[in-house]
């Protein structure tokens, strides 16, 4: 019955929305985009700030995880960015 239920588009969409709200990331195959909660922010130094980030999943590389983001502050007119690499010796 669960196999049949997972084939229903409305059920799958509901599961995707719940997973997005709980984790903050949207899974798009081998990548996850997010965290969704920080795509937009505002503070006195940067003003209105837009940000975009993501990370790889184990489907792309089981032992290697790449993660990064880029953001732009409209008040200070500065780009901010970060990236990281994580390697697992286990597994």
pLDDT tens per residue across span 63-91: 999 999 999 999 999 999 999 999 999 86
Query: What pLDDT score does 91 carry?
Result: 65
Percent of the chain topping pLDDT 90? 73
Q: Which long-range contacts (CB under 8 A, 24 or more apart) does 76-84 make?
A: 76/45, 76/46, 76/47, 78/46, 80/51
24 band by pLDDT with thresholds 50, 70 and 90: very high
Query: What pLDDT score does 55 carry?
Result: 96
pTM, two decimal places: 0.76
């Amino acid at each position: 019955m669960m196999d049949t239920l997972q084939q229903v588009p409305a059920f799958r969409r509901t599961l995707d929305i719940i997973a997005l709200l709980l984790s903050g990331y949207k899974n798009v195959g081998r990548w996850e985009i997010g965290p969704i909660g920080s795509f937009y922010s505002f503070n006195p130094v940067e003003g209105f700030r837009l940000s975009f980030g993501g990370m790889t999943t184990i489907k792309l590389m089981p032992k290697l995880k790449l993660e990064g983001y880029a953001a732009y502050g409209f008040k200070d007119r500065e780009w901010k960015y970060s990236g990281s690499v994580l390697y697992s010796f286990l597994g």
